Amino acid sequence: MTTVREGDVREVVLTEEVTRTQLVQYSGASGDYNPLHSDERFATEVAGYPSVFAHGMLTMGMTGRVVTDWFGPEAVLSYGARFVSQVWPGDRLTATATVVGVGDDGTADLTISTTNQGGEIVLAATARVRLA
């Protein structure tokens, strides 16, 4: 059983540098082949973005590790996220999870934020885990 108290914090560096290759990997694994995430020419010339950018679901998937490394993949009861800001190739991402409540029912609630190298929040998430 994982014992935690309100206020406990874990921080994980998710990646030192988001790469375009990782965006291609995620496109292939997830099946979301939107060229905004893999096709620089399309993203810049047609869609008007400065470059390709990460799938929000890639950032959410990467962020899940801060919860599953702590409690295990099978202890998670819920996980939800709001996509706050875009993630670009070159970004360094850090996820921080904080225990915000421990229930009498053997569950704990977490808030999670993922930030880039500039300290800007890119993803704001919550999770509930089973402790027993």
Q: Which stretch binds other proteins (CB under 8 A): 3-11, 42-50, 101-109, 110-118?
A: 42-50
Query: Using CB under 8 A, which residues numbered 54 to 93 contact other proteins?
Result: 54-62, 64-65, 67-69, 73-74, 76-87
Sequence letter at residue 132: A
Q: Are the CB atoms for 6 and 100 separated by under 8 Å?
A: yes
Cβ-count burial 59-88 (b if 16+ within 10 Å, e if not): bbbbbbebbeebbeeebbeebebebbbebb
Which of residues 54 and 99 has its CB atom nearest to other proteins in the complex?
54
Q: Which stretch binds other proteins (CB under 8 A): 3-11, 28-36, 94-102, 104-112?
A: 28-36
92-131: contacts with other proteins (CB under 8 A): none
DSSP 8-class letter at 44: I
Piece of the chain touching other proteins by CB under 8 A; list 2-10, 19-27, 101-109, 111-119 = 19-27
Radius of gyration of the chain (CA): 16
